[in-house]
Amino acid sequence: MDQPLTGFGANALHDSFHRMFDRSRDEAPATLELRLDRLARLRSLLTDNEKRFEQAISSDFGHRCAVETLIAETLSLLGDIKHTAKHVKRWMTPRKVKTELQFWPGQNRLIPQPLGVVGIIAPWNYPLQLTIAPAIGALAAGNRVMIKPSELSPAFSALLQETVAAKFDADEMVVTGIEDGIAEAFARLPFDHLMFTGSTRVGRIVAEAAGRNLTPVTLELGGKSPTIVDRSADLDEVAPRIAYAKLMNAGQTCIAPDYVLAPRDQVEPLAEKIRAAMARMFGSDPANADYTSIVADRHYARLKGLVDDAAAQGATLLQPASADDAAWSSRRKFPPTLVLGATSDMKIMQEEIFGPLLPILGTDDAAETIRFINGRDRPLALYWFGTDEAARDEVLARTVSGGVTINDCLVHFAQQNQPMGGVGASGTGAYHGEWGFNTFSQLKPVFYRSPYNRFADLYPPYGGKIARLSKVLRWLS
């Protein structure tokens, strides 16, 4: 295999892309055997370097809980690869499509084809999972893949570049550098499909750059994902599930609960139970290895700014320590913080939090809860807790979000037979399993005309045959 592409600058970027592009046009589509081989190599890339990826990711964070990397990244990806390898033969087989009576005995088929070259712009928060997961779908669909990692994960990026180059030829899959200017140049390449995972703000920039080439894009963004606690919910069950989902990866998760809506008289009891659950799981010692650091100083400062702004406007903070405490800030461990009394004027309710801060708001009834959610951008995820099925179904019917988990958080992301994607400001397009295969394929409709069907012979002069044909078609309609 080719050697790692260290110092991957703009010239190497363009050369690599055009080599891939030309090969994708000159060569026959990847066979099933080649696709399975690529998936097997991707699996060995993960298993051969599992500990190295864990260490590199932790280095980039300052500290990353090893169990979180194992569960949310490595094991998740190994499951995705196994699922994809099991089903890719069926996915790539031409699909029968119903043919209307007037075209019998002709046949319709939907033929999946590789698009060509797929670009993936990856984020830093789950760098392995959110890089390799879309690559699984793209490779299964028979494409060639270029990956641009995040500049906030330099150790991981260098390792990924090295390991991909050791397992894949440069015209199959390649990882770029993270130097200044690479991200913008990458987004401007005329990919056959471009996938971006990250913030809504940057997603708009990527979509605009891709639009110059009419490159189709899949945008996996974020936003403020609400959690609804219905009056029928058992708070003792709800609290640990919300606490864990919020503090996993220190809240640096695009589908983390961003805020909670609960009946007004249950806000304080719920907050106390969540606070207690957080303490049981993660303690109050910032040296706890189970609690992940904030990725960078500027992100820590941003979170502190959200908390300070809320406190200055009258919010109540429940924290084990102040964010200024040197024991926490020196490790970039942000103290888990519950915010009571948050209002729409506070910055914490105006932007995605992406950290271990959780506002808990009170509402008078389900109608007010639904109005509150619908008055904001469509969220990437929504969570509902309770046993009242009518109330649950009303929320499902009257709110729009990328995905939903009922009586838990995050778990819809792990469903291999369901799509993962956003809606509106939280993203466009979807992937995971067959949905990813379809996203990175051209599902080409083909009609095979039969020599025994004369219905299509509508050549002039028309004469009376149009009237006869119209009569038949009206009868069939």
Active site residues: 220
Same domain membership, residue 112 and residue 252:
no
Same domain membership, residue 387 and residue 251:
yes
Domain total in the chain: 2
- Give me the half-sphere count of Cα atoms (radius 13 Å) on the Cβ side of residue 122: 31
Q: Is position 455 within any domain?
A: no
Same domain membership, residue 391 and residue 436:
no
Which range marks the domain in which residue 51 is found?
10-221+428-442
Q: Is position 87 within any domain?
A: yes
pLDDT digits (tens), the chain, 477 positions: 443 444 566 678 999 999 999 999 999 999 999 999 999 999 999 999 999 999 999 999 999 999 999 999 999 999 999 999 999 999 999 999 999 888 889 999 999 999 999 999 999 999 999 999 999 999 999 999 999 999 999 999 999 999 999 999 999 999 999 988 899 999 999 999 999 999 999 999 999 999 999 999 999 999 999 999 999 999 999 999 999 999 999 999 999 999 999 999 999 999 999 999 999 999 999 999 999 999 999 999 999 999 999 999 999 999 999 999 999 999 999 999 999 999 999 999 999 999 999 999 999 999 999 999 999 999 999 999 999 999 999 999 999 999 999 999 999 999 999 999 999 999 999 999 999 999 999 999 999 998 887 766 677 777 777 777 778 778 877
Same domain membership, residue 436 and residue 316:
no
Q: Is position 470 within any domain?
A: no
Amino acid 186: pLDDT? 95
Q: Report residue 60 as tokens.
A: 């980039």
pTM: 0.94
Same domain membership, residue 260 and residue 357:
yes
Same domain membership, residue 91 and residue 161:
yes
Q: Helix 129-140 and helix 76-92: axis angle, to 10°?
A: 20
Q: Is position 5 within any domain?
A: no
Q: What is the CATH number of the domain that holds 304?
A: 3.40.309.10
Same domain membership, residue 365 and residue 402:
yes
Q: Which amino acid is at 471?
A: K
Same domain membership, residue 243 and residue 199:
no
Distances in Å between the Cα of 69 and the Cα atoms of 54, 61, 72, 317, 459 are 6, 12, 6, 30, 65
Amino acid 181: pLDDT? 87
Q: Is position 14 within any domain?
A: yes
Q: Is position 315 within any domain?
A: yes
Q: Is position 287 within any domain?
A: yes
Q: Could you give the dihedral angle defined by the CA atoms of residues 49, 127, 257 and 402, in that order, rounded to the nearest 10 degrees?
A: -110
Same domain membership, residue 207 and residue 230:
no
Q: Is position 448 within any domain?
A: no
